Amino acid sequence: MNGILPLYKPKGMTSHDCVMKVRKLLHIKKVGHTGTLDPNVEGVLPICIGEATKIIPFLSDLQKVYIAEIALGKSTTTEDTDGEVVEVRKVTQAPSDEEVKEVLQNFTGKIEQTPPIYSAIKVKGKRLYEYARKGIDVERPVRHVTVFSIEKLPLNSETTNERIRMKVTCSKGTYIRTLCVDIGEKLGYPAHMAYLQRIESDSFHLDETYTFSDIQQKVNNQDIEALLLPIDQGLRHLYTLNVDEDIKEKVLYGQKLPLPKKHIETNPFKVMFQDKLLAIYEKHPKNKHEIKPVRVFNL
């Protein structure tokens, strides 16, 4: 069984929990995910199965898209709803749409972020949350990330004027929690992330996803294969080099090949024979006249 299962991760589960549950449901050990989501976050979590686990390193650097809500007037230790309250300030007048939109634009492009103390970033061999739980102060490394766009969205009727709803398209490693806190600070209030949903990850979209209930139903109907997308669909961002039957055999044996005369637009790139994914290759780092395999698939 090989392919990509676009899972809709529910709240309350870690990404590792999801991997373990998929293993149990599908009775397969070779399973991995392509980008961690915190337990209180829901949304798109592509799960790679079988030979698809080989492409995980080629997916994690792609952009993500989120729907987030900022709650103004209260900050927490974890920068979301799970933490202890740090500061409270009453929101006497909600910022206008114009104020919010102006502030949001300040956070587009390449920005600096200081990761939350309750995060999995490693400092001196330990996760930041390990220091936090022991009450140890530690200097957090500044990270550089890219926010491609932020769009203010209408609030749901049930939410208050102390909330700001937005759509964020960003690079790998962006902490939406921290973004919410920083935006609140620019608006003059302590803030935290009240809600987060990932609607796109690694070129997989919300409308492609399956819930665990959907998966269980497919298992019951012995229709597991219907859940899986082809492995090459996870490599839509890579250039495709199509080869003939003779070259196909060389690729499957993991041989180096002469650099094609045609312009290769990405590095690495995928090699295919007809509609079959054979391998991921890259330009040889030491010999500019060759290409060499990075991953070869046994499909």
For the annotated catalytic residues, the residue numbers are 38
Question: Closest Cα to residue 35, out of 184, 260, 164, 204?
Answer: 204
Q: And the tokens for 92?
A: 């006497």
Instruction: Write the CB contacts of 261 (distance below 8 Å, at least 6 apart in sequence).
Output: none
- Do the beta carbons of residue 152 and residue 166 sit within 8 Å? yes
Question: Closest Cα to residue 175, out of 162, 188, 193?
Answer: 193
- What is the C-alpha separation between 293 and 257, in angstroms, rounded? 9
3-state secondary structure of 250: helix
- Which pairs with CB-CB distance under 8 Å and at least 24 residues apart come from 96-101? 97/152, 99/187, 100/152, 100/164, 100/187, 101/152
- What is the C-alpha separation between 148 and 107, in angstroms, rounded? 9
Instruction: Write the CB contacts of 206 (distance below 8 Å, at least 6 apart in sequence).
Output: 8, 43, 44, 199, 200
- Do the beta carbons of residue 40 and residue 80 sit within 8 Å? yes
